[in-house]
Amino acid sequence: MEFSPIITEVLDESQLEFLEYRFLSIFDSKELWEEIKLKYSTSSRSYHNLSHIFSMLDLLDKSKKQCNNKLLETAVFFHDVIYDSRRKDNELKSAEFFLEKKKDVFLEKEREKIYDLILSTEKHSPIKEENDFYFLLDLDLNVLGAEKSTYKKYTEAIRKEYAWVPGLLYKRGRKKVLESFLKREKIYFTDFFYSQFEEIARENLNWEFNQL
């Protein structure tokens, strides 16, 4: 399957229209969409922005997997809505932000599941052993299995988001992150992602590790 995530700070008009359409098909609130779009478009976001959300939804469409798409897509839209590279509670704050919005759209049990889906992205580990959790985490890590030129753009974007961290400290911290993924028996949880991206992801992670 051919797939290349988009890494850019500004999406084009058609890509923004795609995201708006998908969001409004769930929430039917232009006001809420504008609020979320604004949060994802701050200047401090070089990777965790709307291009990341676009790439996740694009890959979800291409995979054609059996998931609860309404819940999963909602988790995609909200999972990085709060993001500050200096903080360690972004996922919790994002999950809490979701709970504050449009309570009439989902049943309470569904809202609890979306909350847990968002929280699971903190450590890239499923809170529940369910397909929607596996798939959200794999979608979130799709860039690890991208072609080398795209992966390089990703590493540059992440470094930009952590520009406030001195070089030596950044390298040390980044190596720990890379090692945590390389030590896993499987980076991807679903058979679909594992077969498509696992080998490439390990090559990319090892390449970056050796560059630091």
Joined together, the tokens standing for residue 66 give: 């059996």
What sign has the CA pseudo-torsion 54, 10, 27, 188? positive
CB 196 within 8 A of CB 1: yes
Q: What is the model's pLDDT at position 2?
A: 62
CB 113 within 8 A of CB 82: no
CB 187 within 8 A of CB 157: no
For residue 198, the one-letter residue type is E
Q: What is the model's pLDDT at position 69?
A: 86
Q: Per-residue pLDDT averaged across 15-37, rounded? A: 97
Q: What is the model's pLDDT at position 67?
A: 62
Cα separation, 12 vs 28, whole angstroms: 22
Confidence of residue 62 (pLDDT cuts 50, 70, 90): confident
User: Which one is the CATH code of 13-211: 1.20.120, 2.60.40, 1.10.3470, 1.10.3210?
Assistant: 1.10.3210
CB 119 within 8 A of CB 137: no
Query: What are the structural domain ranges in the chain?
Result: 13-211
Q: Per-residue pLDDT averaged across 105-110, rounded? A: 95
